[in-house]
Amino acid sequence: MAFSQDKLLMLSLLVVGITGGVLARGAVYTTPKVERLTDLFSHVSVTQGFSQSFGGSNIHLINNGTNVDLVLDKSSGSGLVSKNKYYYGFFSAAIKLPAGFTSGVVVAFYLSNADLFPHNHDEIDFELLGHEKRRDWVLQTNIYGNGSVNVGREEKFYLWFDPTEQFHEYSILWNNHHTVFLVDNVPVREVIHNGAISSVYPSKAMSAYATIWDASQWATHGGKYPVNYKYAPFIASIKDIEMEGCIMHPMDSAPPCSKKAISSLDPLEGEEFVKLSQQQIVGLDWARRKHMFYSYCKDTSRYKVLPPECNAK
């Protein structure tokens, strides 16, 4: 899918200074200036882009389907799945998280093809974890391909803002060159597609998902801090959805967006998105230096021999 030259120029012109993020614990941060990738793509409504995945009665459409509230209560969580599957693309959602005591609650925005490849699937995850002690949310990212779930590639961050007060953008750029996780357009993680990670790099068409669910057993040390439904309902509000990329069509025997069809102006696989800009590199360094508190590549107690990509240069 090619964009006009004028629209691509926005990549270099749309630079903003995002000022004064206030962390829930009281610290104040000024985020680096970065290109606003989310300004390059059009919004799609929930009804245009998604179908119900589970918990239909807990999916509440707002503004004629432009926005949605996903609810978790004692009866069920809830979730959406994209109507299309994508070979690569840019995926973004503005999310406002539930406030209060949210231990065990997980809100996820992610890509997966587990429905097509249950034992050999790919996944790229944003997982927002309700925290049992500080009552702050924790951001976790994860990535794996070809069923490589035996090696968790998690990284965890404290956010530099209170994600329950207003909407914030969580975005995934996934193409053949790299996968980038961005929060409010600031890169927090880049996974470069190279020889070290090639065998477990997501490569098959995936759907986009948005979910809220009870992860008490998984996210709180085996259920030590389970979801307390006294504080229910837990509501994740979602808007400004963007899903732009190479769509899989059921009758295609090969990806329709083959390299022969990709122009140098393609904003998803072309040169503009091959690597991070200098501003994005600065933003990535800032986010990881100041806000990341766990990386699997530093977890020598978990891995006696670190995964090969951890040592790649």
Q: pLDDT digit string (tens) for 155-195?
A: 999 999 999 999 999 999 999 999 999 999 999 999 999 99
CATH class given for the domain over 34-249+274-311: mainly beta
Over residues 111-140, the pLDDT tens digits come to: 999 999 999 999 999 999 997 765 689 999
Where residue 254 falls among pLDDT bands split at 50, 70, 90? low
C-alpha 246 chain-centroid distance: 18
Per-residue pLDDT for 141 more than 70? yes
Burial class (CB in 10 A: 0-12, 13-18, 19+), 130: buried
What is the CB neighbour count within 10 angstroms for residue 276? 19
Classify residue 147 by burial, with Cβ atoms within 10 Å: 0-12, 13-18, 19+.
middle
**155 included as an active-site residue:** no
Closest alpha carbon to 149 in 194, 113, 106:
113
| 127 is an active site residue | yes
Which DSSP state fits 76? -
Diameter of the chain by CA atoms? Answer: 56
Q: Give the Å distances, CA to CA, from 54 to 48, 107, 115.
A: 17, 14, 14
**Alpha helix locations (H) across the chain?**
5-13, 46-49, 216-219, 278-291
From the list 123, 155, 272, 309, the catalytic residue is 123
Domain ranges of the chain: 34-249+274-311
- DSSP letter, residue 311: G
| pTM, rounded to two decimals | 0.89
Mean pLDDT (the chain) is 87
